[in-house]
Amino acid sequence: MNGIFGKKENLLLPGLLFSVSILLLGIEIILGRGDLPSAVLVLAGVICFLTGVLILILIQRSGIDPELVSYLGVDQILNLSRMFTDLGIHGNACVVLPDATGGPIMQWNPVGRYVPFAPTGEQIFIPGREKNGVFTRPAGSTLFYYLQQNNGLKIPLKEKELFACIKEVGEDLLGIADRVEANRTGDQLVITLAGTSLFAGCACVQQESPRGCELAPCAICSLILCIITTGFQRGVQIDRIQLNESEQRITVLLSILPDNQQKDGEPQMLQK
């Protein structure tokens, strides 16, 4: 487990301040003059020492280890995915537009493969029909709306700016990975989180149930889907999660859903 004091960069500044403090006090001890300049040296040495102590205290109180945070949602993901499976719902999670559901962004898990339709916004489960499934709130929707309301998150509608937004949210705003990348090939999207502090929790889910993340994605993957859905104004389906332990890398593979919805057998264009 990597503790706070295991990172050399966190100790560099306090160590430098302590060294300066020792140097200044040492000069005064050697000179022993007792005049005003000497008093200034002593005062500066004491200030450097106290500043170093304060920085160490602040570092020590920096919060919970991110690796521990990654385990917080594991049980909820596994429980929800198992409930879906027991109900006969085997389709991967889709995040669909608010104007398609008549309310906020929703997660749609179909019984089987995704079939375009006109969502009603109600929770649905009717077995035996391919286009039926269950509506739930995405795990990251509350975080998504919070970032919009309190952190000034603006979702661009242009692809290049949207991918830059995902990178900024992952690297700077949330700080969940050393590098975040988003790429598109046709209707396929690839989101990469390299050097992520969330890897341990994701690996735990994969060990218990390889399909857990596909059926019930965590808050972070769900947040990414919410951002993409809003930016593209199209529903998005999570296809697969790939892990690379040596690089602590998580790769999220997504598909953009068709923009035409079916209602009573007739295609209907989704309003934008």
Whether the Cβ atoms of residue 119 and residue 263 lie closer than 8 Å to each other? no
Residues in the chain: 272
**pLDDT tens, position by position, 144-186:** 999 999 888 999 999 999 999 999 999 888 888 899 999 998 8
Adjacent-strand bridge partners of 254: 189, 238
User: What is the predicted pLDDT for the residue at 128?
Assistant: 52
Assess whether pLDDT exceeds 70 at residue 23. yes
**pLDDT tens, position by position, 201-238:** 899 988 888 888 899 898 899 999 999 999 998 899 99
Whether the Cβ atoms of residue 257 and residue 108 lie closer than 8 Å to each other? no
Assess whether pLDDT exceeds 80 at residue 85. yes
User: What is the predicted pLDDT for the residue at 265?
Assistant: 33
Instruction: Give the whole-angstrom CA distance, residue 49 versus residue 215.
Output: 54
Q: What is the mean pLDDT of residues 76-102?
A: 81
Is the pTM higher than 0.75? The answer reads no
pLDDT bin (cut points 50, 70, 90) of residue 191 is very high
